[in-house]
Amino acid sequence: MSRISYIEDQVSWEEEFSFFCPVKVRFSETDMFGHLNNTIPFIYFEQARIEFFRDLGFMDEWIKPSSENMIVVADLQCDFLKQVYFNEQLRIYVKAGKIGNSSVDIHYMGKNEKDTTCFVGRGSIVQISKKTGKAAPWSAEWKEILENKLRESR
């Protein structure tokens, strides 16, 4: 799987995941070719990412009306490795990657019940100020939380 630019070594890349979110493939998520439509893993990524940030305590802060900051997605990508079908029970894994001043790279992996990796992905999210719309640096506390997560997984 060396063709995927954000994965150096797949075995160690996979081992670094521990947090996951279960999802079940809905009928409405299949398309006329009988497969999971290829736009749906991005919906799963979003759901799993939100659970991940909720687990870190960030999400509750961002959705407060009084919060100065929010997050935006800067980019997203997905590599489709194996077809997924209606009613499959998937685990969507999430981990933090490279941490910037106001951004963090998030990596994703979707596994089926046979533990086969069906799709992988990544994308950068950026904390921005609600007022200015500009990048808002992580607080020291939050940066440490992210860095601890990253260390733990390695």
- State the minimum distance, in angstroms, from the CB of residue 20 to a second copy: 14
Q: CA triplet 90, 97, 44: central angle to 5 degrees?
A: 25
Q: In this chain, which of 2, 8, 34, 131 binds a second copy, going by CB under 8 A?
A: 34
Q: In this chain, which of 15, 43, 67, 139 binds a second copy, going by CB under 8 A?
A: 43
Q: In this chain, which of 2, 8, 33, 115 binds a second copy, going by CB under 8 A?
A: 33
Q: How many residues bind a second copy (CB under 8 A)?
A: 35
26 forms part of the interface with a second copy (CB under 8 A): yes
Residues 97-126 that bind a second copy (CB under 8 A): none
68 forms part of the interface with a second copy (CB under 8 A): no
Residues in the chain, overall count: 154
5 forms part of the interface with a second copy (CB under 8 A): yes
Here the tokens at position 11 are 């075995």
Residues 73-92 that bind a second copy (CB under 8 A): 73-80, 83, 86-87
Q: CA triplet 50, 21, 45: central angle to 5 degrees?
A: 50
CA-to-CA separations, 47 to 21, 92, 134, 140, in angstroms, rounded: 8, 9, 24, 26
CA-to-CA separations, 140 to 21, 137, 147, in angstroms, rounded: 28, 9, 10
In three-state secondary structure terms, 37 is coil
Q: Which residues sit at the interface with a second copy, rule CB under 8 A?
A: 4-5, 24, 26-28, 30-35, 37-39, 42-43, 46-47, 50, 54, 63, 70, 72-80, 83, 86-87
